Structures are given as structure tokens and as C-alpha cells.
Amino acid sequence: MSGLENLVWSPLAGVKGVQIFPFIRKVDIVSSNSYLLDAEDRIVLVDPGGLPEQADLLFAEIQKLLDRKPRQVIICLTHVHLDHCHQLLHHPGLQSLPARVVAVQEWGAQALEKGDRSATIADLIQQELSAIKVDISLLSDCDRGFAREEKITLGGIPCITCKDPLGMEDGSSIPRQTLPLTREAQLEFLHTPGHSPDSICIRAGEAFFIGDLLFATAPGVAGLTGWDQAALLSTIDRVSLLLSRGGISVCLPGHGRPMDVPATLRTLAAMKKEALQLSGIERIDRDWARETARYAEDLMNEVERLFTIIAGRLVYVAHMLDELEEAGEAERLRTLIDADLVDDILADFNNFSLECRTGSKLDIHLALKAGQISGKLDRIYRGELLGSMLNLSLVRRVGRLLEDYTITFRGFRPHINVLPTDLSIAAGEVVTSATNPPYQEDAIVEAEDEEAFARALALRIAYVNPFEHLVIDYSPGVDLPLVLLDKDRFGDVLLFLLEKFSTGGADNLRIAARPSGRGIGVVLEAPVFSGRALLDERSLRFACRSVALSGGSCAAGGPDGIYRITLEYPALGTEPDLISS
């Protein structure tokens, strides 16, 4: 499509006598693509990338060119995120080039000179960062709106840099600065903020280096330090106009393969829609990554548990139907979920999670991996079909968890529907639904045909009462004030706790709704032996997070011989500043 072959020198379209050497990597957050340009009087390196072996190879190519003809080497960055520039700061060869000129947009230049860990995302990807001196602060003072020329020195050689805004058809303009590439052709630097304040696109002949512009709305990227929705929207519009003008034949992104102009325009149009949805996105930093990674682990643990139960219950029901010589219905059940594929996907996450714990993967990697896993599970999860067969709460809970994570890893908070609620009634409904079968006894008798009979039978068999060995004593409160909570989420977490108490070995559970702290609480208490907690640390963390998402707070403890969990919700009128959406 682009006519460019990776790691091969080819003529640069639109500029006579200049060759281009692309170093294109698979997409990740460790290192960017790099591009070398070989012009008669100078070599240009766009984004040295983040990996030593990548820089070794680029440096070797630069050495060959310098051996042929010594000249200045301009290293320019599309922005200062470390995956694009770590090797500029740390590679011995690139640091010792005799006539090196580092050109970075002004905001990025200041960040590099100060060693700003946030602006360079060094804090997020936990990498070392050395400050360096930048030779040319590109596009500084470019917002004056008129053209001018300045004399500068490039690697000891005087030359002219031109600063003139590029006027667009809609009356807007893009701040622009040029440096000489050859005697006739210029390198054009265009300020295209949004992904970061220092993001630029670089034009050389018909090639357009676009950095991370096309990733600016991606989960885990949108919301990074300096990310700016309004600036991004403006950049998308102006770059789209520029590309529509003609004269550019290939767009060279910071990650992934080169793209032609129509494909880039389509991507920008789709991005604009996404960018418009990103108001209120959370700031993506190390704390976010740490918190989201822990959330991902706990949530995936629960997703794995629920999927295992769902898939296992289908196996169980299919087996029972086989025993009853209902092979057709048994087979239908076996196809409801691709359990092996789910197994593979969850095992993949587990392995990744282990690597994270041993330090070979970072929190941000795990947070993004969980997003990928959650998307895959969501695509193969057939909630409606499963819901027609199994206990609806299991199916609904998986659906909600996957949706919550997808929202979280995109940088938002899950939707919470907090309303005034009678906690006694809400808790009572959960206890009742948990201990009553969800099927109609008459359905089997009244089935009108063989198929309806087989389905009613399957539904009957699919009902497993996990509380059959647990005596639940529920005491609703009297005249309790209403509380503010998300009733569906409260129902999910209370059911989760009932399951944990039951499968943890409790045979007697007292549940009471009563005043607690500054609000109203639902208190679950069960006798335990040897002070053993009925919930392990991870399950308790998951429960507390789920309670928080339902609008309350959660605490575990209890006197000797009793394990107690309290879910506390603010009484109406006394609530603190609640998240309401």
C-alpha cells in the first residue's frame, strides 16, 4: 500500500534524492516505530523508540551513512512519551553522535530538560529518565499568526527556520515551523496537540509522520498526562482538512503499519466520534494503573468463578439430561458456551497476572490486558441464551462485571444508579430470591410438546440451591429510614456474600437490617471455628469494591467465634457527597 518495506531503504516520495528507512514494530507501549531519512546534507531520525536493540540497529544505519559522508543528524520527536524517546536519552551511540541536533516541540523540550516523569510517562511505565538538553524548541512562539524567518545554527551550520501558520480552508490554521531537509525541500513541523501538548506531525515530501495521533482515543491512552479532548478534536479536524488537500501519499504512525490517506481519514472520522464521548475521562497515571490493575485481578477472579459455575452447570445439566435420555436438549446445552475457549482466555489472563506479580509486566500492561480479555469474553458471551437456561443472577452478574471493567479501563467510572431505597425490603428480596427456585413447578406438567418438556426439565435440573445446607435467619429492621443505594448492585453483592458464607462452610447465617454507624446497615453474621474468615482477602476486597459501587461501605470482623460483614449505606438526608452517575 505505502510502497515502503520495513528495514529497507527506499526513495522518499516527493523529495528528490532522499531515502527513507522505516523501523516498524508490532503495536505495544514499550517502543514506537522509528524512521530514518537520508538526505545529502543531513540525516533525520524521527522517534528513536524505547528499546536498546532498536536503537542499536538505527545507530548502525546512521554510522554507515556517516561513514559515507559525515553530516549533521537531526533527531526529532513526535512527542516526548518514553516509548518514543527513551533511547535518545539512554543509548550511548545516539548520545555521542558528533553533530547531533535534537528538535522537540517547546512543551516537550521543557519536559525533557526538567526530566519530567509525568509528561514523559516515565512514572506510568516505571522507567528511568535522564534529563537532556534540547537544541531546537520547535514551534515556540508560533501562535502570533504571522510568518517570519529566524536564523539558527544546526549542528554548527547556520540555516533559516521559517515559522508560518498553515492556513486551512475553514479559516483555522496549524502552527508550522520548517527546517531545511535538502536545498529545495523542507521538513515541516505541525503542532497537533491532543494526545499530548507537545504532539506534532512532521511532513517530508509526500510522507506524513503522525506520531500517536491515531491512538489518542484508545483506552489507557486517552487521559494520559496532558491529554486534551478539545485540542484533540481541533487537531482531528485540521489534520483531516490537510490530508484531504492532496500532496500526501502515506501516513507513518508511531505504532503499527503505514496507512494511505483514505484509511487515515476514515480512522480520524471514527476517532472524532470516540473523542466526543470522552468528556470527564479519568486521568491515566500510575495510581490509576495500579488501582485498575488490582481491580482487574479481583474482577477477573470473580468472572472466572462465575464462568466456571455457568459452564460447569451446563455440563451438569447436559449430563443429567443424557441420563434421562434427552440427548437432543443435552447437546443444545453443550453448544451454549464455548467452555474451552473461555478456559483458554482466562488461563491467558492468569498467566499474564502471574508475570505481573513477578515484576516482568507492569500494572498498566495488566490493566490493558484485562480490557482485551474482557472484550473477548464479552464477544463470546451469549447472555440472553444462557439466561433462558440458568439462574439469571449468575448470567446478569457476569454481564455487569464485563461491562464495568470495559468502562473502567476506558478511563470512566461504572454507571451507578443510586436511588432512595428501603434496605429492609431490598435485603429481604435478595434472601427470598436466593432461597426460592426460579422455575415454575407446573411448567414440566403443562409442557405442550416434547421440546417444551425438555426445556422445562433442563431448567428444573439447572436450579442448584447453594444454600440448602445453610439456615438463614433474616431480621428486617423496623421503621428504618430510606437509604441511598444502587439496588441491582446491592443485590449482586449480597448474593455473592451469601454464596461465600454458604460455600465457606457456614451452616447458620443471621442477617439483620439495622442502624449502623452514621447510616443503615445489613449485617451478616455466622459462627466460625478457630476464627477462620469465611472470605479470603481477594473475595473481601472484591465485595468491598462492589459495595462501594452500590453506594455504601463494607467492613469485616466480629467477636471471637463469629464472622461478621457489615454493608453500610447512608440514610436519606444524611448522605455524604455520593456519586450519582
Partner 1 sequence: MTRVISPVGRIDGATSPAMESEITEVIAGGERHLLIDLSKVDYMSSAGLRVLLAAMKKVKALQGDMVLCCMQPFVKEVFDLTGFSRIFSIYASEEEALRQHQG
What are the residues binding partner 1 (CB under 8 A)? 304-305, 308-309, 311-317, 319-320, 339-340, 342-344, 346-347, 350, 461-462, 464, 466, 499, 502-504, 536
Which is closer to partner 1, CB of 298 or CB of 304?
304
Rounded CA-CA distance 288/481 in Å is 36
Pick the closer one to partner 1 by CB: 305 or 400: 305
CB of 408 to partner 1, least distance (A): 24
**What minimum distance in Å lies between the beta carbon of 455 and partner 1?**
17
Distance CA 140, CA 429 (A): 64
How many separate helices (H) and strands (E) can be counted in the chain? 17, 23
- Three-class HEC string of 34-47: EEEEECCCEEEEEC
Of the candidates 336, 459, 320, the residue with the CA atom closest to the CA atom of residue 391: 459
Distance of CA 291 to the CA centre of its chain: 12
Strand order in the sheet with 519-527: 471-475, 508-516, 519-527, 562-570, 553-557
Please tell me the distance from the alpha carbon of residue 357 to that of residue 365, in angstroms, as a whole number. 12
Residue closer to partner 1 by CB (options 446, 536) is 536
Closer residue to partner 1 (CB): 442 or 468: 468
For partner 1, give the closer residue by CB, 132 or 324.
Answer: 324
Q: Minimum distance from CB of 450 to partner 1 (Å)?
A: 24
Q: Residue 231 or residue 333: which is nearer to partner 1 going by CB?
A: 333
Sign of the dihedral through C-alpha 37, 199, 408, 270: negative
Amino acid at 387: G
CB nearer partner 1, residue 37 or residue 342: 342
* Burial 86-104, CB ≥16 within 10 A → b, else e: bbbbbbeebeebebbbbbb
CB of 463 to partner 1, least distance (A): 9
CA angle 133, 59, 251 (to 5 degrees): 85
Shortest distance in whole angstroms from residue 351 CB to partner 1: 10
What's the closest the beta carbon of residue 36 comes to partner 1, in angstroms? 43
Only one residue has cell 450519582, namely: 580
**Rounded to the nearest whole angstrom, what is the least distance from the CB of residue 316 to partner 1 in the complex?**
4
